[in-house]
Structure 1
Amino acid sequence: MLLLSEDQTRDALPFPELIDSLRAIFQSGCVMPTRHHHDVEIPGEEDGTMLLMPAWVPGGFSGVKVANVVPGNSDRNLPAVSAQYLLSDARTGKMLALIDGGELTARRTAAASALAASYLARPDAEHLLVVGTGRLAINLVGAHMAVRPIKQVTIWGRSKEKSANLAREIGSSYPVKVTVAGKLGEALENADIVSAATLSSEPLIRGADLRAGTHVDLVGAFKPSMRESDDEVIKRAELYVDTRDGCLVEGGDIVQPMKAGLITEADIKADLYELCRSDHPGRQSSEAITVFKSVGAALEDLAGAMLAYRNGGH
Structure 2
Amino acid sequence: MLQLDATATAARLSFEALIPALRRAFAEEGCEVPLRHTHRIADPAGAGGSVLLMPAWKPGGLFGLKTVMIFPGNGARGLPGLHSLYTLFDASTGVPLAQLDGNTITSRRTAAAAALAASFLAREDAARLLVLGCGRVARLLPEAMRCVRPITRVQVWNHRPEGALALAREWREQGIDVQAVTDLDAAVHEADIVSCATLASAPLVRGAQLREGTHLDLIGSFTPQMRECDAACFARSRVFVDTEEALAKSGDVLGAIAEGTFEAARLQGTLAQLVRGERAGRREAGEITLFKAVGNALEDLAAAELVAAAMLGR
> Where does 1:68-147 land on structure 2 (aligned, <5 Å)?
68-147=69-148
Partner of 2:8: 8
What secondary structure does 1:135 align onto? coil
Q: Does 1:152 align with 2:146?
A: no
In 2, Cα distance between equivalents of 1:263 and 1:73: 35
Consecutive unaligned residues in structure 1, runs of 5 or more: none
Partner of 2:177: 177
In 2, Cα distance between equivalents of 1:41 and 1:185: 39
Same amino acid, percent of matched pairs: 45
In 2, Cα distance between equivalents of 1:167 and 1:309: 34
Q: Does 1:53 align with 2:61?
A: no
What secondary structure does 1:105 align onto? helix
What secondary structure does 1:208 align onto? helix
Instruction: Using the TM superposition, give the Cα deviation of residue 263 of structure 1 relative to its aligned residue in structure 2, in angstroms.
Output: 1.7
Q: 1:182 to 1:49 in 2, by over 3 A?
A: closer
Paired residue type of 2:267: I
Is contact 1:150-1:176 (8 Å) kept? no
Partner of 1:26: 26
Partner of 1:218: 218
In 2, Cα distance between equivalents of 1:74 and 1:85: 23
> Where does 1:278-289 land on structure 2 (aligned, <5 Å)?
278-289=277-288
In 2, Cα distance between equivalents of 1:145 and 1:225: 31
Instruction: Using the TM superposition, give the Cα deviation of residue 127 of structure 1 relative to its aligned residue in structure 2, in angstroms.
Output: 0.7
What secondary structure does 2:137 align onto? helix
Instruction: Using the TM superposition, give the Cα deviation of residue 131 of structure 1 relative to its aligned residue in structure 2, in angstroms.
Output: 0.9
Partner of 1:275: 274
Paired residue type of 2:299: E
In 2, Cα distance between equivalents of 1:11 and 1:64: 21
For residues 163-197 of structure 1, give each alpha carbon's deviation from its aligned partner in whole angstroms, at most 9, with x where no partner exists.
Answer: 11101111222x33101113011111111100001
Consecutive unaligned residues in structure 2, runs of 5 or more: none
For residues 189-209 of structure 1, give each alpha carbon's deviation from its aligned partner in whole angstroms, at most 9, with x where no partner exists.
Answer: 111100001121221111111
In 1, Cα distance between equivalents of 2:68 and 2:79: 15
What secondary structure does 2:32 align onto? coil
Is contact 2:197-2:219 (8 Å) kept? yes
In 1, Cα distance between equivalents of 2:212 and 2:172: 28
Paired residue type of 1:45: G
Paired residue type of 1:272: L
Please, what is the CA RMSD of the aligned residues?
1.2
In 2, Cα distance between equivalents of 1:170 and 1:311: 28
In 2, Cα distance between equivalents of 1:87 and 1:285: 42
In 1, Cα distance between equivalents of 2:232 and 2:68: 35
What secondary structure does 1:166 align onto? helix
In 1, Cα distance between equivalents of 2:100 and 2:225: 31
For residues 69-108 of structure 1, give each alpha carbon's deviation from its aligned partner in whole angstroms, at most 9, with x where no partner exists.
Answer: 2233222211111111011111222211110001110000
For residues 112-153 of structure 1, give each alpha carbon's deviation from its aligned partner in whole angstroms, at most 9, with x where no partner exists.
Answer: 100100000011111100011122111111111111111110
> Where does 1:163-202 land on structure 2 (aligned, <5 Å)?
163-173=164-174, 175-202=175-202
Partner of 2:291: 292
Q: Does 1:44 align with 2:49?
A: no
What secondary structure does 2:67 align onto? strand
Instruction: Using the TM superposition, give the Cα deviation of residue 220 of structure 1 relative to its aligned residue in structure 2, in angstroms.
Output: 1.9
TM-score, normalised by the number of residues in structure 1: 0.96
Instruction: Please identify, of 216-225 and 233-242, the stretch whose mean Cα deviation from structure 2 is larger.
Output: 216-225
In 1, Cα distance between equivalents of 2:221 and 2:177: 28
For residues 220-263 of structure 1, give each alpha carbon's deviation from its aligned partner in whole angstroms, at most 9, with x where no partner exists.
Answer: 2212122111122111111000001x211111111111123322
What secondary structure does 2:89 align onto? strand
Partner of 2:301: 302
Number of matched residues? Answer: 312
In 1, Cα distance between equivalents of 2:173 and 2:60: 43
In 1, Cα distance between equivalents of 2:189 and 2:38: 39
Instruction: Using the TM superposition, give the Cα deviation of residue 43 of structure 1 relative to its aligned residue in structure 2, in angstroms.
Output: 2.7
In 2, Cα distance between equivalents of 1:262 and 1:70: 33
In 1, Cα distance between equivalents of 2:312 and 2:124: 35
In 2, Cα distance between equivalents of 1:186 and 1:260: 25
In 2, Cα distance between equivalents of 1:296 and 1:57: 18
